Structure 1
Amino acid sequence: MHTNVPAEKFSPSLTDLKLSHDKQIPWGQLYAELSKSHKVMEFAWKDATVVLFLSTVHDGQNYVAKLRRRPATTNKGYRQTVKMFRNQPRAVLDIPEFIEEYNLWMCGVDIADQLRSYYNINRVYRKTWKPLFSFLLDIAVGNSYMLSSYRPEPGSGERALRRDSHLQFCRDLRDALLHASVCVRKPPSKEGMKGWMDIVWKPVREHQLVKQFTKQPTCAACSYKHRTSSQPHRGNRKPLADLSINTTMKSREDSRGWKRRQRPPRTNWGCSVCHIPLCKKGRCWSEHVAKLTTKD
């Protein structure tokens, strides 16, 4: 509800309503005033007492009908509030939307702390970053449980079964993580990759040189002809951005006789039918078309 705004004093007129005119204001009366920075709405709403509120997203014009209980005679502000019930134990009253959202979500932090306290992994550490890692992991597990099917629907009145409890969710999550850690990964296959020799034999007029790659692959024609490029590949870097820590500034040769391999040029272009990476140069495309013509 609140954002980073410049610090400023609450409206003196609204504060005076709470301090001096609380008992004279009828129930449900709403007062609003825009802050001096014109970024925050300041509210004073009369419930049992005058409640002061700040909001950056509400204007105070929307109301929500809620079924509320008549307060006890010992409650503060009973004389102003009981007039709205007309001797009825319950009544549907209109309250501002921001008050309803506050009442609905004000305990969210308490619920999150409660979930973390049940099965937390925090231990005594000498490293300063480890408690932070445990805290973030507990938050991730708690949020996952709240979004999972283990948790019963809010407002359904059903209690979670033993097999669908929070504890069972943590056990299943543990077993799944352990199973994933010992699972043997399949080696990457090259079935879907196409090279210079993988040409789809269609009429030459259907083949066109188009830009179809987001990441720059190596030109298939240059790689097949063992052509190299003297210009280093820069990649898709942003202007004025920091260089990667993996960037090497090593020269092409050193005193030990090591030489960096001359790679073929990279390209974003390719054949619209064969989907083979080709440089945007006449020789690569002409070689490709020449092979198609020869096969035809």
Structure 2
Amino acid sequence: MNIKLYHTDDLQWGELYWDVSKNKTVLQAAWKDAQVVLFASTVARPGESIMRERKRPAKTSTNSACTRLVFGDLAVKVLPIPLFIDLYNHFMNGVDRFDQTTSYYSTQRAKRKTWKPLWFFLFNLVLYNCYRLSSFFGGHTKTGGHRKFLESLIKGLFDSSAKPIRKDDRTPSMRVNNIQIGPHGPKPTQLGKKRTCSACAAAGRKRRRVALEEVSPNAPRRTPQTNFGCELCKIPLCQTGECWEEHLKQVILARSIAGTTVA
């Protein structure tokens, strides 16, 4: 900073001054272009340079008297510049665009833990890179592609994370198989072992609370179980309620499709 504040006019174009931080991890550099450029990097090396074609600045530009001496009578000249300056010139737009798009749709949250802001930054970076690589990116910011990409991503994540309905193999379905067997009785008969009611499982009905039953948030409301059902179809059904009527409707529908006349 002292070089920039007090020695700018004393430097010639292309002069480079650098030093390393006390812990030997950060390079601090001052390079004279039209102005003194201050730079800090954790990966750059001060001795690396690259030849680039530079245009002679206009006479009215800042510090043109000092800068134009390097070019002489040439309008364009190939000059050596530090490699880290060249990398910054080529990739600075990517950083600026990332900051711009992140300001529109950011996941950053105020946190007290030191590692979480870094995690949110990396997460935003991954989202932005995925957007740039996707078909939603058209190079224009006014087409709404970034927002459409995020909406599509959110919808896809919700669809992929939806928990499939778990089917209990021990609960027979409501499908009627023995449609050629004789008539059904007026009510369900006792089958023996308690099993989950097929009609309640198909309709999503849960067991109702008994009067004066202890209320516990940890006690799940399960599908009713019964030891009654249809003896012909081998389907467990509740002894009371609409389960038996629903089963008879399934039998009538199955027989009408099959073209049988068994009552």
- Measured against the shorter chain, the TM-score band is 0.3 to 0.5
Indicate the structure with greater helix content. 2
TM-score after normalising by structure 2: 0.45
Q: Which has the larger radius of gyration?
A: 2
Indicate the structure with greater strand content. 2
